[in-house]
Amino acid sequence: MIRDIARVLAGNGVIVYPTDTFYGLGAKCFSQKALHRIFEIKKRPGFKGLPVLVSDLEMAKGMTAGLPPVFYALASRFWPGPLTIVLKAASHLPAELVGPGRTIGIRLPAVAWLQALIRETGVALVTTSANISGEGEIDSAQEVIRVFKGKVDLIVDGGQTPGGKPSTVIDLTGEKPILIREGVLGRKELEKFF
C-alpha cells in the first residue's frame, strides 16, 4: 500500500489521507504542480504557505534555516504528535510552500504508516486540512470521499480519524515562542516553554 501511494506522489499526485487529527490533503513538498493543485482544490490563497509532515528530526532540520534550542526541547517532549512548529524556511524550499517571512510549519506525525510513507518518498509531505477553505475539518472517510472524489488522485480510507481539535501551532521564528493556535495540546501543557 505504501509503495502504491508513493508512486502516486512521485507522479505529482495529490492525495487525501488520515492523520493523527483529521484528514489531510497532501503531495510531495517539492512538486510545484501538485502544490498549485492543492491551492485550487482548497480554494485557498497561495500566500499562506503550506505545512509539511516529516519522518524524523533530520528531515525537519533539512527544511529549515536552523533550529533554535527550544525546538529540541519541544520536539523531544511532543513529537511524534499533533504539534506543528513554525521555523525559518531553508532557502531551497519553493515559494509556494513557505509562509510570510519565509517560514515553514513542520510536524512529525504520530502515525507509523505516514512516517513510513514519507521515508519511502524521501521528502516531506505537504499537509493541510482536507477541506475547502473556510469550512470545517473532516474526520470521516465518507465525507472525504463525498467532497474530494474526482478532485484528487488518491483517497486513503482510514475510517474515522481522532478529530476533536487540530494540531497545536507554535512559532519559533522570534526571540520567544508564540502560540499561534491552541489545538490538541493546550496552553497548560506548553506553559513551561513560554
Domain locations in the chain as residue ranges: 2-193
Between CA 138 and CA 124 the distance in angstroms is 22
The pLDDT > 90 percentage for the chain reads: 84
Fold annotation for 2-193: DHBP synthase (3.90.870)
Backbone angles phi, psi at 71, to 5 degrees: -55, -50
CA nearest 74: which of 167, 192, 183, 186?
A: 192
Between CA 49 and CA 74 the distance in angstroms is 22
Pairing of strands 23-26, 52-53: unpaired
- Give me the pLDDT at residue 47, please: 63
For residue 102, give the 3-state DSSP assignment.
Answer: coil
Strand order across the 23-26 sheet: 128-129, 23-26, 15-18, 154-155
Q: What is the DSSP letter of 52?
A: E
H-assigned helices in the chain: 2-10, 32-42, 57-62, 69-78, 112-121, 141-148, 187-190
pLDDT over 70 (residue 59):
yes
Between CA 89 and CA 62 the distance in angstroms is 9
Taking only the tens place, the pLDDT of each residue in 121-159 is 999 999 999 998 889 999 999 999 999 999 999 999 999
Q: How confident is the model at residue 26 (pLDDT cuts 50, 70, 90)?
A: very high
